[in-house]
Structures are given as structure tokens and as C-alpha cells.
Amino acid sequence: MNKSELVNAVAERSGQSKTAVEDVLGVLGDVVGDALVKGDKVTLPGLLTAERVERSERAGRNPQTGESITIAASSGVKLSAVTALKTQVKGR
């Protein structure tokens, strides 16, 4: 499902306009992003949990040359489906 399909489905089920749904999804993305930047864990009830994870520096290899390289420390996002979503998907 792409963004326009999601907007259409939510607008149809909620009775809201497509523009209103697009605005809410945009703001939701901003709010979740800001929370993750601050290090907060975000839970969307019934859907998923998102949290910032820190990856430490580690050794790796250049796949073309086989040369050892150091991969720098970085931040990422971990998404986990909540139990309700997992149960819904298993049941189908």
C-alpha cells in the first residue's frame, strides 16, 4: 500500500477529507521524528513501537576489495509490531 492508497483508505473509513488525512499523516511523521531525535520511545497503540537505537563502531569488509574497514557508529530506528497487530496478521 503506497501513500495515496493509505490516504484514500483512511479518508474513506474515517469520513474525513483526503486533504485532512494527508495533513494528519504529515504532522504525525514530524511528531514521531522529533520524539525519536530526542531519544523518546513512540508507541502507536494497536500498531507499532518505534525507538532510536545506537549502533557502535564495528569492523567490516569492503566487498569489492576484501579490505578491512571500520564502520562508524551511527543511529537508527527500530520498529516493532505490537501484540495486537501480530495477532491480527496471524489470524488471516
Amino acid identity of 74? S
pLDDT at 92 (0 to 100): 67
Residue 22 has pLDDT above 90, yes or no: yes
Q: Are 35 and 52 in contact (CB under 8 A)?
A: no
Q: What's the rounded Cα separation, in Å, for the pair 43 and 46? A: 9
Residue 53 CB contacts under 8 Å (≥ 6 apart), including other chains: 75, 76, 77, 78
pLDDT in tens, 28-63: 999 999 999 999 999 999 899 999 999 999 999 999
Q: What percent of the chain has pLDDT over 70?
A: 99
pLDDT at 91 (0 to 100): 83
